[in-house]
């Protein structure tokens, strides 16, 4: 049976795949993990960066004696998967990303980090703040959010370039939801043209939050693609 690793996005956790896993358990050996600091996992001392999260995946694979694996990466998890495909191609088989932001610069980062102020989130969106507290810990979630803002600032200068995407040889499915207000169709299609062995697919009426993505849609795509 094929193996698949599900990688969550920024501010997320592996628990967000709970509804998906039963739909694909007969087709795949499923693995999930929490990036450090997420989902109440002890935070490593290192900074939140794509490189560090990629190395966490490699450490996890080594600990499970897995040489290479298929990866579904949601949002930031997809970017981590693409980083692995670029710099550690032998450890990756196929990649399916959904809602992964692929264009990073100072302007894009400033736009995103405005939404990552814990005090403002607590004041203006208390229900969301409460959900993050339940996911990461009552005190920890604010640190996760602040460190995620720093991760995005790092991405403005340390990101995959056009030449990096061109060098990715593994099969990649780049998924984009038509109602995604964080990721654009333009940046996803552009990256698709750079990655030679890639497929671009639009999912109608699908927004960015993975909680609002139909689990059966993801399951069917994984069964088809992987």
Instruction: Give residue-wise pLDDT tens across range 136-191.
Output: 988 889 988 899 999 999 999 999 999 999 999 999 999 999 999 999 999 999 99
**Among candidates 117, 76, 118, which has minimal Cα distance to 98?**
76
Q: What does the pLDDT average to over 108-116? A: 87
Residue 97 is assigned to a structural domain of this protein: yes
Residue 130 is assigned to a structural domain of this protein: no
The per-residue pLDDT for 114 is 86
Q: What does the pLDDT average to over 194-209? A: 97
Residue 63 has pLDDT above 70, yes or no: yes
Residue 150 is assigned to a structural domain of this protein: no
Contacts of 199 (CB under 8 A, 6+ apart): 171, 172, 173, 174, 192, 225
The per-residue pLDDT for 45 is 65
Please count the structural domains in the chain: 1
Residue 90 has pLDDT above 80, yes or no: yes
User: Is the Cβ–Cβ distance between 210 and 131 less than 8 Å?
Assistant: no
Residue-number span of the structural domain to which 50 is assigned: 2-103+161-225
Residue 132 is assigned to a structural domain of this protein: no
Distance CA 24, CA 222 (A): 8
User: Is the Cβ–Cβ distance between 88 and 58 less than 8 Å?
Assistant: yes
Beta-carbon count within 10 A of 81 CB: 28
The per-residue pLDDT for 16 is 95
The per-residue pLDDT for 39 is 78
What is the domain-level CATH number for residue 70? Answer: 3.40.50.1820
Residue 125 is assigned to a structural domain of this protein: no
- Coil, strand or helix: which one is 178? strand
Residue 66 is assigned to a structural domain of this protein: yes
Residue 11 has pLDDT above 70, yes or no: yes
Distance CA 184, CA 176 (A): 8
Residue 122 is assigned to a structural domain of this protein: no
Residue 133 is assigned to a structural domain of this protein: no
Beta-carbon count within 10 A of 224 CB: 9
How far from chain centre, in Å, is Cα 129? 20
């Amino acid at each position: 049976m094929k193996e698949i690793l599900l990688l969550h996005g920024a501010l997320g956790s592996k628990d967000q795949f709970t509804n998906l896993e039963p739909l694909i358990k007969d087709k795949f050996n499923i693995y999930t993990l929490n990036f450090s600091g997420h989902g109440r996992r002890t935070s490593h001392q290192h900074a939140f960066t794509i490189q560090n999260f990629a190395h966490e995946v490699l450490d996890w694979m080594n600990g499970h004696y897995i040489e290479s694996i298929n990866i579904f990466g949601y949002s930031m998890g997809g970017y981590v998967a693409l980083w692995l495909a670029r710099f550690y191609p032998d450890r990756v088989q196929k990649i399916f990303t959904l809602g992964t932001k692929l264009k990073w610069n100072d302007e894009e980062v400033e736009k995103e980090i405005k939404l990552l102020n814990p005090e403002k989130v607590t004041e203006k969106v208390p229900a969301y703040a409460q959900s993050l507290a339940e996911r990461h810990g009552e005190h920890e979630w604010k640190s996760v959010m602040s460190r995620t803002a720093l991760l995005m600032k790092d991405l403005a200068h340390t990101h995959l370039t056009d030449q990096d995407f061109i060098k990715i040889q593994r099969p990649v499915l780049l998924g984009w939801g038509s109602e995604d207000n964080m990721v654009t169709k333009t940046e996803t299609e552009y990256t698709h043209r750079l990655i030679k062995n890639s497929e671009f697919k639009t999912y109608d009426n699908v927004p960015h939050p993975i909680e609002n993505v139909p689990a059966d849609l993801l399951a069917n795509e994984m069964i088809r693609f992987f």
